[in-house]
Amino acid sequence: MGSVDEVRLFLEQLNTKFILLGDPVSFENREKNHEALAELDIRPTDREKYIRNLKVEDYYSGPNPDDCNPDGPPYFEFGLNIKGNEVYIKLTLGYPNKRINCISFHIAERPITYPFKK
């Protein structure tokens, strides 16, 4: 589990990329990520708004090493309530000067615990 400071730093770096990059997020082309858009009745661009507004309290887990890319940046996991559904979000910052990588953005398959939520 990361510390509050680690999560805060991750979110600050995430928001810096939103400011610096014109198209800041790359979304994994996964079926359940696409299905979530329909189930939540949101547009693909809405995902970026939710990601940009993540808070420390939304944190679930991380930093975790990426098993698919062991040399890549670690990922962090968050959860949000969107339209009455708990949504699981898994992100990496990506490489320097490259886009944020959103690995998962879908309805949670199991309950999410929030260690920093009051």
User: Do residues 85 and 98 touch, judged by C-beta distance below 8 A?
Assistant: no
CATH of the domain at 31: 3.30.2310.40
The three-state secondary structure class of 43 is coil
Question: What pLDDT shows up at residue 111?
Answer: 94
Per-residue pLDDT tens digits of the chain, which is 118 residues long: 789 999 999 999 999 998 888 878 999 888 988 899 999 999 988 999 999 999 999 999 999 998 878 888 999 999 999 999 999 999 999 988 899 999 999 999 999 999 998 8
Element (H, E) at 7: helix 4-20
Q: Is residue 89 part of a domain?
A: yes
Count up the domains in the chain and report the number: 1
Q: How far is the C-alpha of 79 from the C-alpha of 112, rounded, in Å?
A: 7
Q: What is the DSSP string of 66-95?
A: -TT-TTS--EEEEEEEETTEEEEEEEE--S
Indicate whether 118 belongs to any domain: no
Which pLDDT score is estimated for 106? 95
**73 in any annotated domain:** yes
Q: 112 lies in a domain?
A: no
